[in-house]
Chain A
């Protein structure tokens, strides 16, 4: 038997202190298999040891929340006995090393989390961050990640309906691939993971276990260095066809009442799934590893327990229901094996070749995982950049064209045309709008879904950036007419052992908490990805938010496209003209500086609630929030989508460039029919809301008095061409 040396302990990513804790729990030295199990269970990825203290401070409850964080995904009530189940998860480290498989298995994993709970996945989303556009690896990574996401979701027949993509040098060595899935279930048919029933059979279903992905969770808990490419063998390989069969088989079995508990095998595979099920149920489990379906000969207990082979599930069945379940899985040509049983010992006992391979107490391993209060320092704040601190440009038209064709604002069509975004026949708002809208099949209601985060704001002021990410998700859902209900978060940060990184984390959580509370928008699921660093340089703090809202009547949906000539264009909200961290400053002056725009949560709430009410009354013909690039870019996007121009006359005390390009928060551009103007105004006046008439839709140009006149065709061309041109450079495919 291998002797456990200091070096082996260190290779498993456990600190000396953690290893002492292992010895204390066991009262003896672990064998290699046991050490491997401790290693993955106590990895940052599985244990949340650096983040737990802070995550606990986020609001997770509301009357419509059925299940908050802690299960495979969160669950909310959407009325009529139906629930939406969703979660977002990172697959950053694998995607950098092997972009196609890394992204594909990220999508596969998150869909499994959702259908494990009894939901049919109805929409996929993603949030992607790549390095600077001219970095030699960027094109290759974009191409690989996008085709990987499409390759998996398209084959599963689940539409990928949208997402967001940023490019910044802070991601040159650590891209972020965050995938979100939303599923639909009946509220009385939700499945949880707590094992129960002493003697009940523990069943393995899905693909066979191979040697792929061993130590993936440990890899995701360490920084990269120049040799990271050598970690390629730890990236899993996905098979969406098998997952499609697994989905159908699981849903077929779930229609019966044979399942006691079910858990997918994700990070840390059989180890994590078995321990979580046992721990949640307060029971023990015995597994005979000889019965695990294996793809390769000669696998050791260590390899079986740590494999991250994809498309596998662990279930506890009611006694006597094995044959019924086996038939279903065999119909779908999947492996089905009773590998063990639930016990009352509170211990995980693994045997192989009639020998005990591991014997570990479940509770201490799962619950006594280390929890750290890592030292942190507050991020120093940057000064506000006032409108008068930024010189007026020579030509506002050239500025708008440059911004529309810039890396942050240009059209992402090249990406989403590679995703099947219409399969299942319920996509009623396709990618490219503020939020995607997917009808609840067979009903007249729908879910609005968005992913949002502005990492440059979070870097400059984590608390403001964290609040902004939540507020923007809320705003994007509101702009479709839907009521925002809950979020999932994917917290991507650098090395938490550095106090300034931990300070970013603490700050972002602080801002998110304020926004979630102010907007009644609780966190119901999420994931943390730390150590996104290469050679000591961290990414911008990126708390990606996935938001879901409910549209009660699909006939009351708005889109951002200008609709009809003669409609009145209104600006809802107040412009401050503060230019810090704006795309304008970055693209025109080459400065990434200043404080991000302020988020006024009370105004945010008031403006959003008003807009949703107006949409609900059928008074709004188009709506779009102000975000990257400010008012002028919002108008440009609405004109491009509607294939029609507008004449804008903005009365403002601000310098025109500041009014047009500052990224003021809590604001929307909306359009109304001329006949409805007085009514919309009246409601605004009653609520003391600033609503400014800024123009009329019509003609083929976007014309802003005193500023610019550009044809919509020209705007469309620069907006459309940037990404295809980037991706047609040599080496991009």
Chain B
């Protein structure tokens, strides 16, 4: 299998994503510079976290207009799986690949910590490594992760099984206390309608070994790679 990681000026989780994908794939992903207008032949596109273009204007807004993103959107429309993490999720909403928007955290502060997440919808490709309703742990690290969508969109996401993860307590309860950023309905990650694009604020690539404090991220990438192969 082949994967491509998109690198923008200001991306800073690109190396972490490369390490995680390499661990699961047994080979390195292609690192694709934002100024390129063509993607290499790839089975998976990953958009990493960071501060693309310094978050100027709005987080993700400028990256969404870079040449490579037109190509990413085209591939996504033709069915290539895309995983967009943190700043990647922000970019994905700015391009319209995913609905909604990521606003400033309700606390107004940057937040970095492990969070518990409930696996909500069935999506064999992305979360088949977990049980439905399993609680998994990934870290968050963001200033703008407060998911917002209008009421109709929100209803549709819930009804169509497009919610990937929700922030929960370790026991799996959806509470305000478990919500690190004020996201509506505690939403941490969503799918597009076709189910081949996943955007999420938490960073699965940060918990990929015991020495880092957990392996739920490894399970995530191992399964993703296996399901694509």
**Given A244-B12, A428-B212: A422 touches B50 (CB 8 Å cut-off):** no
Chain B residues near A242 (CB-CB < 8 A): 54
Q: Interface stretch among B92-100, B104-112, B153-161, B171-179? A: B104-112
Chain A residues near B205 (CB-CB < 8 A): 425
CB distance from B37 to the nearest CB of A (A): 16
Report Cα–Cα, A157/B17, bound state, in Å: 13
A562 interface hit (Cβ, 8 Å): no
A333 interface hit (Cβ, 8 Å): yes
B130 interface hit (Cβ, 8 Å): no
A-B contact pairs, 24 of them (CB 8 A): A150-B110, A151-B110, A154-B51, A154-B112, A154-B141, A154-B143, A157-B12, A157-B50, A240-B51, A241-B9, A241-B51, A241-B55, A244-B9, A244-B10, A244-B54, A418-B109, A418-B112, A421-B112, A423-B16, A424-B16, A425-B20, A425-B205, A425-B206, A428-B211
CB < 8 Å: which of B13, B20, B55, B109 contacts A155? B55
CB distance from B224 to the nearest CB of A (A): 18
B19 interface hit (Cβ, 8 Å): yes
Report Cα–Cα, A417/B109, bound state, in Å: 9
8 Å CB interface, A230-261 against B: 239-242, 244-245
Residue pair A425, B109 in contact (C-beta under 8 Å):
no
5 further A-B pairs in the complex, CB-CB below 8 A; given A147-B110, A244-B9: A154-B110, A155-B54, A244-B54, A422-B206, A423-B141
8 Å CB interface, A392-430 against B: 416-425, 427-428, 430
Chain A residues near B111 (CB-CB < 8 A): 417-418
Residue pair B54, A423 in contact (C-beta under 8 Å):
no
Chain B residues near A421 (CB-CB < 8 A): 112
CB distance from B23 to the nearest CB of A (A): 10
**Given A155-B10, A420-B112: A425 touches B141 (CB 8 Å cut-off):** no
A45 interface hit (Cβ, 8 Å): no
Chain B residues near A565 (CB-CB < 8 A): none
Residue pair A417, B113 in contact (C-beta under 8 Å):
yes
Chain B residues near A241 (CB-CB < 8 A): 9-10, 51, 53-56
CB distance from A123 to the nearest CB of B (A): 14
B74 interface hit (Cβ, 8 Å): no
Residue pair A733, B112 in contact (C-beta under 8 Å):
no
A332 interface hit (Cβ, 8 Å): yes
Chain B residues near A245 (CB-CB < 8 A): 9-10
CB distance from A648 to the nearest CB of B (A): 28
Report Cα–Cα, A480/B20, bound state, in Å: 26
Chain A residues near B193 (CB-CB < 8 A): none
Q: Most B CB atoms within 10 A — which of A241, A245, A422, A430? A: A422
Residue pair A417, B112 in contact (C-beta under 8 Å):
yes
CB distance from B20 to the nearest CB of A (A): 8
Residue pair B112, A157 in contact (C-beta under 8 Å):
no
CB distance from A472 to the nearest CB of B (A): 26
Chain B residues near A418 (CB-CB < 8 A): 109-112
What is the size category of the interface that chain A forms with chain B? 20 to 34
Report Cα–Cα, A428/B143, bound state, in Å: 23
Report Cα–Cα, A151/B144, bound state, in Å: 13
CB distance from A341 to the nearest CB of B (A): 31
**Given A241-B56, A333-B9, A554-B211: A147 touches B141 (CB 8 Å cut-off):** no
Digitize A148-179: 1 where CB-to-B-CB distance is under 8 Å, 0 elsewhere: 00110011110000000000000000000000
Chain B residues near A155 (CB-CB < 8 A): 10, 12, 51, 54-55
Residue pair B16, A425 in contact (C-beta under 8 Å):
yes
Residue pair A423, B13 in contact (C-beta under 8 Å):
yes
Digitize B208-227: 1 where CB-to-A-CB distance is under 8 Å, 0 elsewhere: 10011100000000000000
Chain B residues near A239 (CB-CB < 8 A): 54
Residue pair A420, B211 in contact (C-beta under 8 Å):
no
Report Cα–Cα, A242/B49, bound state, in Å: 17
Q: Most B CB atoms within 10 A — which of A154, A425, A427, A439? A: A425
CB distance from B60 to the nearest CB of A (A): 14
Residue pair A423, B211 in contact (C-beta under 8 Å):
no
Report Cα–Cα, A151/B109, bound state, in Å: 10
Digitize A31-49: 1 where CB-to-B-CB distance is under 8 Å, 0 elsewhere: 0000000000000000000
**Given A244-B12, A423-B13: A733 touches B108 (CB 8 Å cut-off):** yes
Chain B residues near A156 (CB-CB < 8 A): 12
CB distance from B28 to the nearest CB of A (A): 13
Chain A residues near B211 (CB-CB < 8 A): 428, 439, 554
B139 interface hit (Cβ, 8 Å): yes
Report Cα–Cα, A151/B142, bound state, in Å: 11
**Given A239-B54, A420-B141, A439-B211: A157 touches B13 (CB 8 Å cut-off):** yes
CB distance from A716 to the nearest CB of B (A): 15
Chain A residues near B27 (CB-CB < 8 A): none
Residue pair B109, A147 in contact (C-beta under 8 Å):
yes
B70 interface hit (Cβ, 8 Å): no
Chain B residues near A157 (CB-CB < 8 A): 12-13, 50-51
8 Å CB interface, B15-36 against A: 15-16, 19-20
Chain A residues near B13 (CB-CB < 8 A): 157, 423
Report Cα–Cα, A245/B109, bound state, in Å: 25
Residue pair B112, A422 in contact (C-beta under 8 Å):
yes
CB distance from A596 to the nearest CB of B (A): 35
Report Cα–Cα, A430/B211, bound state, in Å: 11
Report Cα–Cα, A150/B109, bound state, in Å: 10
B206: nearest chain-A partner, CB-CB? A422
CB distance from A156 to the nearest CB of B (A): 7
Chain B residues near A151 (CB-CB < 8 A): 110
A444: nearest chain-B partner, CB-CB? B211
Report Cα–Cα, A372/B50, bound state, in Å: 48
Report Cα–Cα, A239/B212, bound state, in Å: 30
Chain A residues near B206 (CB-CB < 8 A): 422-423, 425
**Given A156-B12, A418-B111: A425 touches B19 (CB 8 Å cut-off):** yes
CB distance from B92 to the nearest CB of A (A): 20
Report Cα–Cα, A416/B111, bound state, in Å: 9
Report Cα–Cα, A157/B112, bound state, in Å: 13
CB distance from A34 to the nearest CB of B (A): 37
CB distance from A707 to the nearest CB of B (A): 32
8 Å CB interface, A43-81 against B: none
Chain A residues near B141 (CB-CB < 8 A): 154, 420, 422-423
Q: Most A CB atoms within 10 A — which of B55, B112, B205? A: B112
Chain B residues near A420 (CB-CB < 8 A): 110, 112, 141
Q: Identify the 6 closest CB pairs spanning chains A and B, nearest first.
A: A157-B12, A241-B54, A425-B16, A155-B51, A420-B141, A418-B110
Report Cα–Cα, A425/B206, bound state, in Å: 6
Digitize B30-70: 1 where CB-to-A-CB distance is under 8 Å, 0 elsewhere: 00000000000000000001110111100000000000000
CB distance from A546 to the nearest CB of B (A): 22
Digitize A425-437: 1 where CB-to-B-CB distance is under 8 Å, 0 elsewhere: 1011010000000
Report Cα–Cα, A245/B51, bound state, in Å: 11
Chain A residues near B20 (CB-CB < 8 A): 425
CB distance from A248 to the nearest CB of B (A): 8
Report Cα–Cα, A422/B213, bound state, in Å: 11
Q: Most A CB atoms within 10 A — which of B9, B141, B205, B211? A: B211
Report Cα–Cα, A428/B10, bound state, in Å: 24
CB < 8 Å: which of B10, B19, B108, B139 contacts A422? B139
Chain A residues near B208 (CB-CB < 8 A): 425
Digitize B141-153: 1 where CB-to-A-CB distance is under 8 Å, 0 elsewhere: 1010000000000
Chain A residues near B10 (CB-CB < 8 A): 155, 241, 244-245
Chain A residues near B15 (CB-CB < 8 A): 424-425
Residue pair B54, A427 in contact (C-beta under 8 Å):
no
Chain B residues near A430 (CB-CB < 8 A): 213
Report Cα–Cα, A428/B203, bound state, in Å: 16
